[in-house]
Each structure stands twice: as structure tokens, then as C-alpha cells.
Amino acid sequence: MTLTIVGGWYEELCGEPRWQEFYGPGGRAAAALSGRRAAIRLLTYCPPAFRLKLEYSAKTLGFAVESFGSAGAVTQFKYLHWLRAPQISSGFALPSELPVIKVENAENVIRYGFYEGDAKIQAKRVVYDPQNSEADKIHAFSDNGSVADELSIVCNYSEGSKLSKETDPKRILDVLLQPPNVVAVALKGAWEGVWIATKSKQELIKPTPTVYVHKIGSGDVFTAEFGYGWMILGLDPINAARRASLQAACYCESGSLPIPESGSVAAPRAPLIAKRDDIEKKYDIYLAGPFFNYAQLLVVEEMLNLFHDAGLSVFSPYHDVGFGHVAQIAKQDLEGLRASRIVVACLDGYDPGTVFEVGYARACKIPVLIYSPNLSDVNATMFVGTDCEVVKDFTTAIYRAVWWAKST
């Protein structure tokens, strides 16, 4: 049995954590599913100067590849960190000058959206992921004349909203399920998990927490594993989505490809919670950290915005108290800390105030997650020894904090 994957092959770079690889949605899906019980075939765009690199990866991992394109550099996605939108650069010709990739009379196809080109599909079963960083390039599967006897759509919330012109997740699912050939829709909701719906059933699949979160490409992997489960393993869409969610978690934890056909995830430690009935917990997170220079303030601002995006209430000393008399500041800060369910501390530069807040929180039996990219094991002794969780990666720190806050 053959599984055809149609999607981009791009260079990916990240500043924090350091990362530089060639994958993209198509390349990552082919790598993730290689060595399985289906022959994997990748169709993608690739300039001639990079084809040897792509072909070497295909030969090493064991999938077939056919590439299209003209002279120029491969498209590059550059991230400050995984939760920031990337900067995109490309040396490709204009999309109108690139050939449309055509797939005809295929059995099973996973089709991703392209940054630089387009693909026209005719197949029995198709999983379509319209992903594109530019909203005006998100199109319905049939817009270019593509057809499928059975179609499953996998998209994130913004893509689903664009395609359906709806904002409520249930309405998005209902609209996208209307065409008679659409058998399932999976709507990726980031922190909430994945809504999976068929004509007769809807379910929310909660995310599987991991110790480390290698976020880049997790959505690509979910789509690939959903397609593999539904089209190759013969699972119904609901069970295919459940399996794909676990497989994506396995990828996030290891950050490596290919993925075992039945991956597993080690259960991370849950925060140690002590119930305090005498103090009302008005905030999900107390955001501790220095804000004495521009770089420190940027980290606090970035964390605050991401926690708000996740739907959490946050007490931030900088935003909620600010500057003033030291005794009054300390009193208000500690009141906010005691009224918070967990503490997230940015320990970069060993700010005495933040260290004090960590110790105070643990004395109050409040869980503490520490984000510190430079904290050595020796200097972490008192934090680790009092059951704080220390994380050196920014994206992982955000995800772990959100999972903690939503579980307490």
C-alpha cells in the first residue's frame, strides 16, 4: 500500500532553542512515517541546488521523493522561538511560474498547503491540511479542482475560521463537515487540544503533557499520523485522532524522527499542590522575574501575553503593582503571590527579589516552575530540592506552566 504525501520541504531555523534542519510539513511527514507498513512517496518543490540533500534524506530514511521547482534558494522559516510567527524568505520563482503538482488516480494522499506553489489532487481518500502562514493563501481543498471520494480536513483554529467564516469551534466543525464527501474534521485548538468531528459525533481530545516540548512541526506530525491511522491502519476518524494526538506528543517529547508506530510518552511530574482554603486563589499564575532592563522586560511581556492567549489569569508585579514605596510594593506583590495557584519565575541574572519570591512560594506550598536557560545544576540545588521544576527552554516553560495551571 502506498501513501502519497504532498507538501513543502523547507529550511527551519530557531534562535531559542538553537535549531537548524530541513523538513517542512511534507518532509517531516515523510520522515515521521518512514519504515512503516506503507510505502511513503513525497511530492514537493525543491530547487536543483538542493535536490541532492533532499534525495539523500529520502534514501537514508527510506521514502521515495519526486521534486519540482526552478533555480533559487529553498524557502526558509526563521523563528525567534517556537511560539513566535516565523520570518519567511524564499528564492523561488513566483508561484505562477512553478508547475502545479498533480496527483491522479491515487489511493491515499496527505496534502499540505504550500507556501510557494499548488497541488491538484484526484484520489480515493485524502487528508487535507490547508496550513499556510498567510491568511489569503488558505483555500478549500476543491478550490483548484481537486477531488476526493472521502476527505478529512485537519486545520488549526485560525485556518478553520477562515475556511468556514465562523468563530465558534462547533460551528466551524459543522460548516466544514457539510460537503457530502467530507467524513471528518479535526480542529487543532493549541492549549485545549483537538476537536474531532464526524457526521454523527464530536469529541475534544485533550493534549498529552510532556516533559519537553519540541513544538516545531507538531501539527505536521498530527496530520501525518491521523492520515496514517485512518487510511493505512483502517481506524475510524475518532480513534485515528486519539492515536495521532499521542503520536504527536511522542514527537514533542523527543524531537526526533522517524516516530515509532506505537509511540509512548513518560508521564511528567505533576505539581505538588497543597490546598489552602483560607486564601482565595484569584489568579492562575504569579509571574515573577526581574524587569530592570529591556531584555528582562521583553521576557515578562512575552510570557504574560502567551498566558493570556491560553486563557489564564496572571498577576504580574510589573503590570499590577509597578513602582512605588518598597514596603507597599512588597506587601502587594506577596498578596498577589498568595492568591495565585502557581508561580512562574524567570531566573536569569539571579535577581534577589525573584529568588525570595520562589522561596516564599514554596514556604506557602505553592508550586513553582522556573524558567532559566543558564542555571547550572549546582546553583539549582535549593530549587530542585524543594520540588521546583526548572526548565531551560522558553517554549517548554510556557507549555508546562499552562498545563500546570489548567490541572491545579
Query: Digits of tens for pLDDT over the chain (408 positions)?
Result: 899 999 999 999 999 999 999 999 999 999 999 999 899 999 999 988 899 999 999 999 999 999 998 767 788 999 999 999 999 987 765 555 788 999 999 999 999 999 888 999 999 999 999 987 565 678 999 999 999 999 999 999 999 999 999 999 999 999 999 999 999 999 998 788 999 999 999 999 999 999 999 999 999 999 999 999 999 999 999 999 999 999 999 999 999 999 998 877 776 766 655 455 456 789 999 999 998 888 899 999 999 999 999 999 999 999 888 776 777 889 999 999 999 999 999 997 678 999 999 999 999 999 999 999 988 888 889 999 999 999 999 999 999 999 999 887
Q: What is the pLDDT of residue 262?
A: 84
Map residue 25 onto helix, strand or coil.
helix
Q: Residues 259, 248, 397, CA angle at the centre, nearest 5°? A: 115
Q: How far, in Å, are 93, 203, 238 from residue 170 at the CA level? A: 39, 10, 16
Q: Spell out the domains of the chain, with CATH numbers in brackets.
A: 2-254 (3.40.1190.20), 283-407 (3.40.50.450)
- Residue 393 cell numbers, joined: 527552554
Close Cβ partners of 36 (under 8 Å, ≥ 6 residues apart): 228, 232, 261
Please give the pLDDT value at position 279.
Answer: 67
Question: Are the CB atoms for 45 and 116 separated by under 8 Å?
Answer: yes
3-state secondary structure of 184: strand
- Evaluate whether 164 touches 139 at the Cβ level (below 8 Å): no
pLDDT of amino acid 75: 87
Pairing of strands 147-156, 2-6: unpaired
Predicted confidence (pLDDT) per residue in 108-152, tens digit = 999 999 988 899 999 999 999 998 756 567 899 999 999 999 999
Q: What is the pLDDT, as a whole number, of residue 278?
A: 56
SS3 category, 129: strand
Q: How far apart are CA 308 and CA 154, in angstroms?
A: 25
Long-range pairs of 245-251 with CB within 8 A, sequence gap ≥ 24? 245/193, 245/194, 245/205, 245/207, 245/208, 246/208, 247/221, 247/222, 248/218, 248/219, 248/221, 248/222, 249/207, 249/208, 249/209, 249/210, 251/32, 251/214, 251/217, 251/218, 251/221
What is the pLDDT at residue 14?
A: 95
**What's the confidence (pLDDT) of residue 138?**
85
* Strands across the sheet containing 39-45: 64-68, 39-45, 2-6, 101-112, 119-129, 147-156, 182-188, 194-198, 202-205
